[in-house]
Amino acid sequence: MQAIELAELAAVVAGGWQQWIVPGQQALRIAQQRYWLQARLRHDYWNGCLSTHRQNIQCSNIANRAQSWRAIAPVIEEVLVSEPLTRCLAHLGRVLAERDVASDLSAISHNVMTSHVEARHRCLHLIVFGEGLAVEHHRRLNDVRRILEGYSDNLLSLMPSVMLPDTLSFDHHAVQLAQATANPPISGLVDCHRLRLTSLRIQLRMSLARKLSSVVASTQHNRQIHEAVLAMMPPEMFDSLGVARSALFAKLAAASPESAPVEEPSAIGMTLVKEFRRVEWKARG
């Protein structure tokens, strides 16, 4: 599994944060522990690769240094690309802690983020001070860094504000301003956050096109982390096909007489739900 899929999963976390704070919908402890364990194993793998690379570029000639940089590039890219998911989960954990929701996600996600930031700093130090890195590769990795920083801050701006935001975002002033001036998540029949997240994912794919290596550094760890995060998510975030629900769809489903209503259903919402059920039953024959 490529790290960009973890970056896209971060958009799912940012778009469905409301479901995490519903009483009785806390993440499973086993999934949380699995997330921490797989993140720790991946961090150890990153540290081993980065330490070996640092020794190689100090003791090798020019040709071997170039080969060493080609080998370590996928690891550096993976550290940068997978960081938005780590930051979104840490932000969500802080939201849960500040709203007194019983969950271990705050402590676990903070620990994972601390390790991830450490690996990030080691990668950036190599990019700036490492010997033998070609100018074009230095520019490419720096572009990847800037793209992911902007993507991460945009995701955090769609989530509620927290205390000490500077420890979670890169430009916390811009994130706080976006949170303060954000449009309502749902405006009429338009899910504004859903459209924004879709646009961010498309822009991310287009921006990173031909900038990432075809080699994946740690496929197995990425898959395990992806599965652990999915296991932590409340089932209400997904429909029967496993597709993430939008906030608008969740609102309409809550208005259904077969669900526990959370607010007074609107006439338009009930009409859409009835039409959806009619089409569904007709498709079933």
DSSP string, 14-69: HHTHHHHTSTT-PPPHHHHHHHHHHHHHHHHHHHHHHHHHHHHHHHS-HHHHHHHH
Q: What is the pLDDT of residues 39-68, one digit of tens each?
A: 999 999 999 999 999 988 887 777 788 889
The helix/strand/coil state of 187 is strand
pLDDT of residue 116: 96
Phi, psi of 53 (to 5 degrees): -65, -40
Predicted pLDDT of residue 251: 52
Average pLDDT value for residue range 139-148: 94
Q: What is the pLDDT of residue 183?
A: 62
CA 42/CA 44 separation, integer angstroms: 5
234-260 pLDDT, tens digit per residue, is 766 665 545 555 554 555 455 555 544
- Of 88-102, 118-132, 204-218, 242-256, the one with minimum mean pLDDT is 242-256
pLDDT of residue 260: 47
Composition of the chain by helix, strand, coil, percent to 5: 70, 0, 25
What span, in angstroms and rounded, lies between the C-alpha atoms of 64 and 70?
10
- Mean pLDDT value across residues 135-145: 93
What does pTM read for this prediction?
A: 0.79
Non-local (6+) Cβ contacts of 160 within 8 A are 17, 95, 179
Q: How many CB atoms lie within 10 A of CB 71?
A: 16
| pLDDT of 180 | 80
Q: Which of 24-33, 143-152, 178-187, 232-241 shows the highest mean pLDDT?
A: 143-152
d(CA 126, CA 119): 11
- 222 pLDDT band (50/70/90 cuts)? very high
Helices then strands, counting H and E runs in the chain, come out as 12, 2
* Overall average pLDDT of the 126-150 stretch: 91
Q: Which secondary-structure segment (H or E) carries 228?
A: helix 219-232
Q: Comparing 73-87, 89-103, 109-123, 172-186, which segment has the lowest mean pLDDT?
A: 172-186
Residue for token pair 């002033």: 173
Identify the sign of the CA torsion 194, 183, 202, 27. negative
Q: How far apart are CA 233 and CA 255, in angstroms?
A: 22
**Chain mean position to CA 196:** 15
At residue 277, the 3 state secondary structure works out as: helix
Would you give the end-to-end CA distance of the chain in angstroms?
A: 38
Mean pLDDT of the region 136-140:
91
